[in-house]
Amino acid sequence: MTKINIICVILIMSVGLVKASPYTPAREHQFKTSWEPALVIMDQHLTNQLAKTTQDQRHALLASGFLLLAISLCALLLVKRSRILLKQNRIIRRQRNALESKQKEIMDSLKYAEVIQNALLKNENRKAGALPPHFIHFRPKDIVGGDFYWLTEKKGYLYLAVADCTGHGAAGALLSLLGSSFLNELMQRDELMTPAELMEALRAKFIRKLGAPARAMDGVFGMDMSLARIHMDHLTLEWSGANLSCYLVRQGSGSSGAELIELRGNRQPVGFHMSQEAFNGHSLSLRHGDRIFLSTDGIFSQFGGPRGRRFQSQQLRDLLCHSAHLNMNDQGTRILEILQEWQGTEEQVDDMCVVGLEVVQFASHLHWNQEPVRPAHSSHAPDLESAA
């Protein structure tokens, strides 16, 4: 029992005694004497309770004030942060709109460049319409590419080339236009140049036209090339290469299957190089039915297969031999199918260009104005074309 409860019990008992006894001055004095300590205790207790209550209320008010202040500060910070985010969102939206506009301009420019590149390749395709059985597989990595194929005829010789210019996309496409233009200019000369001489002249023209940057950047401005000169009547092949090879597939006798001959080019580009040397020339006698294949290295850069590895040069050599029993159109289709199957869902990593040509009895003069008959093809310069 608490002290205040005891005091209350004493007071009640005292009141009861007072009512039970007659009033006298002595009893009044006795009553006051017994009540006075209890009243003092009660007064002290009530004072303490009041002080404690006042202190608790003060603490509660202070806590409420601090809480309100914290909530107010948080609200201010949130409002400020919200304004900053809104401002940043407006900036990001403007930048995104600007980027989308720039991207549209770039895409429009690339599509226009694609039209120009395809127009030039269609001119080569028109010439190819007068060729013996052949196929052309051309697939740029981007909308436009740095690979290109080129052909012309001069004094009974067929000149045929594939080239891989430095870079992809627009940069590579610009170099491909330069390379094709330079080759056409060089063929206007009176002399009949061998592939090695033509590549030497092309290298000199690249270095002269592009100037100091070609020397400073060590081959950045240039191309890898596989260039053949074929005389169909005399059945001769002359070839030179820069970092690329030429494949000749010859049907074997009986059950011996197909034989593959690989001609390897110099390990240098058509352009400035630190260890520059003369391009080597290769000559071979041809037979009717021989097949000549020129390819850039885009095939060998492609990842794919079950282990995600690069397509090896040995795989291409085996593919050329194993499909040699097919006609040129079917062989080109087979090569394209194998490449697509190998790539699978992998991203294309480089431009690709493969040209195959069969040696048949052929008129020495090529009728370039003849329009070729082509199968349906994609929007790019045809992935696969053939002519009989």
Helix pair angle (195-210, 169-186), 10° resolution: 120
pLDDT > 70 fraction of the chain, expressed in percent and rounded: 72
What is the reported pLDDT for 217? 55
Whole-number Å distance between alpha carbons of 361 and 288? 7
pTM for this entry: 0.68
What is the reported pLDDT for 370? 38
Whole-number Å distance between alpha carbons of 31 and 21? 12
What is the reported pLDDT for 69? 85
Tokens at 14, concatenated: 């005292």
What is the reported pLDDT for 305? 87
Report the chain's terminal Cα–Cα distance, integer Å: 120
What is the reported pLDDT for 47? 76
Helix pair angle (3-20, 25-128), 10° resolution: 150
Tokens at 171, concatenated: 């940069």
Tokens at 360, concatenated: 């048949």
What is the reported pLDDT for 254? 47
Residues of the chain with pLDDT below 50 are 219, 254, 363-365, 367-388
Cross-strand partners of 223 = 165, 270
Domains identified in the chain and CATH numbers = 108-387 (3.60.40.10)
Residues 17-61: tens digit of each pLDDT: 555 555 566 666 666 666 666 666 776 777 777 777 777 777 778
What is the reported pLDDT for 246? 96
What is the reported pLDDT for 382? 40
- Residue 111: DSSP 8-state: H
What is the reported pLDDT for 258? 84
